Amino acid sequence: MNPKALHKISYGLYIVTSKKGDQINGQVANTVFQISNDPTTVAVSINKQNLTSEFIRDSKVFGVSVLAQEAPLSLIGRFGFKSGRQVDKFAGINYKPGITGVPCLTDHVLACMEAEVIQEVDAGTHHIFIGKVTGAEVLKEGIAMTYAYYHQIKKGTVPQTAPTYTPQKAERMEKMDKYVCNLCGYVYDPATGDPENGIAPDTPFEKLPEDWVCPVCGAGKDEFSKEE
């Protein structure tokens, strides 16, 4: 079996939220899909070890915020690489509660929905929660972020089929080392820099400001290692 075949499956990028009593939590997820239309049901797949899974199993409700393509890496890093057991992920984040009480993010989000769990499926390392949609709202028009866009564009790589691809520049930048964040796996590529944080393309890692941090998880430069 060639596991790379699974990489051809398309995914989106979402923030799945839930609550437990007065507490709220959320996490990044790429497996959210509609199951049926009457009644309208959606399914989410959440790792059993995650706090969000615990919250969903306790409250039997969850929410889904559909991320816009321009959502910053810092937002994805907060909900994807930090644990609600150690930090309040919603501190400083704009959101509103739905009719079930689950939070819906309001910035960098195209739409949100909430659902009541009607079935739970054990899928090994994950729980699949199937929920009946109880509310849904479009917040703004735009392009939804895909998992592929997050990896290929947000993390700096540019495919050869892209109109901005420059072979000469790529050859020059091959001599400049890439660096990998030891905490979250983000790869700093000098060819593209970090435009969201004011770092222009062609900026080598050694020339980054000393106070520059990983745009995904916030780790400092000392937490990066040269890519082998």
Query: Which runs of E-coded beta strand occur in the chain?
Result: 14-20, 23-29, 32-37, 40-47, 61-67, 95-97, 103-105, 109-123, 126-138, 179-181, 187-188, 224-226
Per-residue pLDDT at 43: 98
User: Class for domain 179-226, per CATH?
Assistant: mainly beta
What is the model's pLDDT at position 8?
81
Alpha helices in 41-83 (DSSP H): 51-59, 73-81
Residue ranges, CATH 2.20.28.10, the chain = 179-226
Structure tokens at 183: 């905490």
Comma-separated ranges of CATH 2.30.110.10 domains in the chain? 10-153
SS3 state of residue 88: coil
Residues 81 and 150: their CA atoms lie apart, in Å, by 14
The total number of residues shown for the chain amounts to: 228
CATH of 10-153, one of 1.10.150.120, 2.30.110.10, 3.40.50.2020, 3.30.70.20: 2.30.110.10
Full-model pTM: 0.79
Whether the Cβ atoms of residue 196 and residue 72 lie closer than 8 Å to each other? yes
Q: In the prediction, which pLDDT does 174 show? A: 52
CB atoms within 10 A of CB 12: 19
The reported pLDDT for the residue numbered 161 is 25
pLDDT of 185 reads 86
How far is residue 54's CA from residue 18's CA, in Å, rounded to a whole number? 9
From first to last of its 228 residues, what are the pLDDT tens digits of the chain?
Answer: 887 787 788 889 999 999 999 999 999 999 999 999 999 999 999 999 999 999 999 999 999 999 999 999 889 989 988 889 999 999 999 999 999 999 999 999 999 999 999 999 999 999 999 999 999 999 999 999 998 888 777 753 322 322 223 354 444 445 789 999 998 889 999 988 998 888 988 999 999 999 999 998 999 999 999 988
CA distance linking residue 15 with residue 30, whole number of Å: 8
